[in-house]
Structure 1
Amino acid sequence: MHTVTLIPGDGIGPEITKAVTDIFAAAQVPVTWEEHNAGLTSFEASGELLPQALLDSLDKTRVALKGPLTTPVGKGFRSINITLRQKYNLYQNVRPAQTTPGIKSRYENVDLVLFRENTEGLYSGLEYYDDRLGIADSVSRVTVEGCHKIVRAAFAYADKHGRKKVTLAHKANILKLAGKLMLDAGKEISAEYPHITYEDKIIDNMCMQLVIRPEQFDVVVTTNLFGDILSDLCAGLVGGLGVVVGANVGDDAAIFEAVHGSAPDIAGQGKANPTALLRSALMMLQHLGEKDHATRIEDALNKTLQQPEKLTGDLGGKASTSEFAHTIIDNLA
């Protein structure tokens, strides 16, 4: 039995979280949940955006499933997601993007995995403001160790999962020093995997190529800000943020999450699609070594996605969140 920290989140978070836990219960997945919330809901209830009880649970379980969180904007609060990633050194943000029968998109045969460095770059939190001159500086700190760790993670994943190519996206033509660190890491580590094709692309060309012919990419690795942008672009190739996986992984801890927003405008209305959080939960099961349970639920989800009348409104159907979840339960083999 695995103990997992469960963070329902804000807005639609509790609804999609219940859908996932209901499916796990029906499938008899060997997971025990320790529920602790964070974000705006937590702040309004207790005055804490990131309660100590949640951190204590994560310190113990080292794995979490997280719904969408809201950090109050313009009030000096630091992003909860960034805080968690840095506290637990979750340096890998892993975002698969794959076309799925039943989910409409403009493309076919997209099957790629993006590795985004998750703790450095422009999200390092190194910002300074000189109110005398009206100048703000945001420092993009990139380290040799950070570049090597994320590139090695991408190659190790490709090797383990039979992927054939790794593409490193960068801006070394302008960012001469920071870009060079990533390119040096790519050159050094790719030599250890001669059976995997390695290439690098400048980030603006990378964006264009993803839109023109996304099926040419397999595993993509890049820095924090570029990865933040590319991950949403890749989600758009396969149906949007409501259907893609999000994982934040370190050497001894991992947080799996829905990467879409909390959608407060539809909260409590039973309209939310739990697919993204469910798929992230299935990646969590893979991480925990529960491959058979993950495959069984994934098969039920894919069967449901090909039943148009059983889908939530964002996918063209009329089902509620709970109805969608119960169709997946009915489709469990």
Structure 2
Amino acid sequence: MNLKTVAVLPGDGIGPEVLDAALPVIEALGLPVDLEFGDIGWECWRTEGTPVPDRTWDLIGRSDAVLLGATTTKPRREALAELAPELRGQAPQYVSPIIQLRQRLDLFANLRPVENYLGGGTPYRFCVVRENTEGLYAGLDWDHVPDGMWPLVADHPNACRSGRPGSTASIRLQTAHGLDRILRFAFDTARDHGYGRVTLADKPNVLRQSSAYVLGRLEAIAADYPEIPFEVLNVDAVALWMARRPEQFGVIVAENMFGDILSDLGGGVMGGLGLAPSANIGEHGNYFEPVHGSAPSMAGRGRANPAAAFLTIGLMLEHLGFADEAGSIQDAVRHVTRRRDRVTYDLGGTATTGEAAQAVIDACREVPHTPTAAVITIGDELLRGDLEDSNAGNASRMLGERGIPVRVRHTIGDDEATIADAVRACIGRDDVVVVMGGLGPTSDDVTRSAVARALGRPLEHWEEAWQGVVERLTRFGVAIHDDNRRQALFAEGADLLPNPHGTAWGCRTEAQGSTVIMLPGPPRECLPMLEMVLRDGLPHLPKRPEVTTVFRRTLGIIEADAAALVDQLVADSGAPVRPAYRWHYPYVDIRLGCPPEAADELAKRLDTALADHIVTGRDRTAVQELATLLDQHGLVLDLDDRLTGDVFATELARERDITDGTATLHATVSGTWQTGDRTTYTGTVALTCTVRDKTDERTYRLTVPNRGPEVTTCFTQFAAWSVARHLTGRHHTRTEEPA
């Protein structure tokens, strides 16, 4: 591949930081691109009297492409006020660097791709092509109507009342030269990138004469592209349908002002300007720019979204002939934004600019990611509480065992629109979407139509499924009704899932990188079907990386404090670790999913950090652990329990396999209420457990909130934990005292 030279002009505000964060992707992809940095923007104006110095024009002239970060533009009065004192006397004319680039390089076409990078909803992919050099932005704009123009407007009633000094005018200039090249660019873009149609956004119902001329040029150019349909729509209607049905568009082409408005609306449709790239292409050059602007108030804060910079680099690479690499960047941005794992504040995340950029670069390098799932259970009976929603829990467990943790669970009534909205929101974001229930033959079973609606596909009759329904009902002597035919309807393109235990078959289908699995509601039917799908594998998912779980159950520490300690430990380890926390009184459980080779070291660090609080490394209570130890040692526990009465002894006896032993261990349990009392559940309780055998005596202490009747559970588990530590020699580092 030939070496390409790119002029990088970081510019102002957040421009330098988003480019600094995103440009390493070029090296990560191993591209033969030479980056040369130049100066542009407000600081150049302030110190040199021009926002685009001659040396920058020289750099642009010898480069294959220009990558622009962002530039700041201010009104003439402010611009002159900020000039260096020695330059103010010269009173140079301030011209926006963007305008200078477009005019000097004759960049007639502004390209703004719009795509559903966030996932959810109906997929869409279109672009806005804006004419840059004429229209209402041609510069034919006067503060008073010129003498030669006055006869053309003098008869307007408002002009008559205001007179020429009180009337202004602008001209929407459109020429055959300008129209033909922008329309041809639009059709070429549609042909080269697979867009299905070209839509001219204009105002033919009001600007009748000029729009009629534009239509004539459109028809003449379109004749050279017979395979591409075209249409003319009012620009206000285009704006409405961009927001409501963006999937219906391909290439939208418009004059300067209409295109300016529609292209920013396209950024809003995508989810914000932080996702919006742009290209400016012309006869003698180009420049590529994320369109979020310089945002000076955000500069240096590390909050700017680098996604638009990545997508802009992708546009530039495609222009330079690196289409595959450009596609990799788009895929990486799509992956990161849909999973929201490392995104900036504008997409609902907390990542810094650098962290979000690294996530995209990692995705470009095909760093394995953890897939996610969504589980949606359907039925009014679940919302009413008539039935326990056991399907959601069982499906979550099954997916988790396959290495696909569930990101979200929804329980929804029998309402088609609500079901469709929930499914649509997960498509493209989660790798697996499991929908369970509502596939019966009655009118309130609307899941199949809701899923088809979310997929944007029609329902079709599947004879194979219908024969399965007929065969099963006939075998059991059950009458077959026309309503049963609903159970043979599935979305177009689905793969059927037979139901060995019922009449309602399921299906699976792929959409926007997600596998959507639709299953009946009865657990004895849907769970074996889900097991079959997971056993057969999901081809679009990467092979599950081997993961070891480090588990610790802790007592005497609140969840937030445990998480703060462990999160720092994970960060310091440098290993790809996924922490999870669960509070179930009186315990906080900690699970760390990590590569097998990192497990031993991680466990040692965890044990050191939480040495005063770890009860066990197994999913067992302290009472269960103590019962096992006493049985193993053949011990009888002589218990003086002044705190729980017989609760501790009763629970321990329930867990033990033997009732006698060859030796006796003595334990005394007590508590002192501090700043409160036992009956009103206020203040705290200082717990004490003294354990004594033939050779050693130790006292263990812990202070806990007197939170309510359940505090007795904490007393019992503390007492068992204390005796277990005495037996194992895992003594508390701060609260135990030798006799």
Measured against the shorter chain, the TM-score band is over 0.9
- How do residues 1-333 of structure 1 correspond to structure 2 at under 5 angstroms? 1-75=3-77, 77-101=94-118, 108-130=122-144, 133-331=165-363, 332-333=365-366
The alpha carbon displacement at 1:190 in A equals 1.4
The alpha carbon displacement at 1:136 in A equals 3.4
* Equivalent residues of 1:309, 1:318 under 8 A apart: no
Change (3 A) 1:249 1:192: same
Amino acid at match of 2:178: G
The alpha carbon displacement at 1:74 in A equals 4.2
Change (3 A) 1:135 1:33: farther
Percent identity of paired positions between Structure 1 and Structure 2: 39
Change (3 A) 1:77 1:172: farther
The alpha carbon displacement at 1:291 in A equals 1.7
The alpha carbon displacement at 1:62 in A equals 4.5
* Equivalent residues of 1:27, 1:297 under 8 A apart: no
Change (3 A) 1:78 1:177: farther
The alpha carbon displacement at 1:58 in A equals 1.4
The alpha carbon displacement at 1:174 in A equals 2.4
Amino acid at match of 1:78: V
* Equivalent residues of 1:92, 1:115 under 8 A apart: yes
The alpha carbon displacement at 1:318 in A equals 1.1
CA distance in 2, matches of 1:279, 1:285: 10
Amino acid at match of 1:51: P
Change (3 A) 1:43 1:304: same
* Equivalent residues of 2:134, 2:174 under 8 A apart: yes
Change (3 A) 1:160 1:124: same
Change (3 A) 1:80 1:180: farther
The alpha carbon displacement at 1:134 in A equals 4.5
CA distance in 1, matches of 2:95, 2:207: 26
The alpha carbon displacement at 1:230 in A equals 0.5
Change (3 A) 1:282 1:292: same
CA distance in 1, matches of 2:260, 2:68: 18
TM-score by length of 1: 0.93
CA distance in 2, matches of 1:101, 1:69: 27
Secondary structure in structure 1 of the residue aligned to 2:123:
coil
* Equivalent residues of 1:68, 1:262 under 8 A apart: yes
Amino acid at match of 1:242: G
Aligned residue pairs, count: 330
* Equivalent residues of 1:62, 1:252 under 8 A apart: no
* Equivalent residues of 1:71, 1:77 under 8 A apart: no
Secondary structure in structure 2 of the residue aligned to 1:8:
strand
CA distance in 1, matches of 2:362, 2:202: 46
Secondary structure in structure 2 of the residue aligned to 1:306:
helix
* Equivalent residues of 2:71, 2:294 under 8 A apart: yes
The alpha carbon displacement at 1:244 in A equals 1.5
Show CA shifts across 1:106-149 (max 9, x none). Answer: x5322111111111112112233349824433332211110111
* Equivalent residues of 2:64, 2:320 under 8 A apart: no
The alpha carbon displacement at 1:300 in A equals 2.8
Amino acid at match of 1:203: V
CA distance in 2, matches of 1:67, 1:172: 37
CA distance in 1, matches of 2:39, 2:303: 22
Q: Which consecutive residues of structure 1, in runs of 5 or more, have no partner in the other structure?
A: none
Q: Which consecutive residues of structure 2, in runs of 5 or more, have no partner in the other structure?
A: 78-92, 146-163, 367-739
CA distance in 1, matches of 2:358, 2:242: 36
CA distance in 1, matches of 2:194, 2:329: 23
Q: Which has the larger radius of gyration?
A: 2
* Equivalent residues of 1:39, 1:69 under 8 A apart: yes
Q: Choose between structure 1 and 2 for higher RCO, CA contacts under 8 A separated by at least 6 residues.
A: 1
* Equivalent residues of 2:108, 2:132 under 8 A apart: yes
Amino acid at match of 1:118: N
The alpha carbon displacement at 1:248 in A equals 0.4
TM-score by length of 2: 0.43
CA distance in 2, matches of 1:156, 1:276: 24
Query: What RMSD, in angstroms, separates the aligned Cα atoms of the two structures?
Result: 2.0
Bigger drift between 76-85 and 199-208 goes to 76-85
The alpha carbon displacement at 1:12 in A equals 0.5
The alpha carbon displacement at 1:177 in A equals 3.7
The alpha carbon displacement at 1:10 in A equals 0.9
* Equivalent residues of 2:4, 2:64 under 8 A apart: no
CA distance in 2, matches of 1:205, 1:317: 34
Show CA shifts across 1:225-280 (max 9, x none). Answer: 00000101111111111102201011342111111121111100111111112101
Bigger drift between 81-90 and 263-272 goes to 81-90
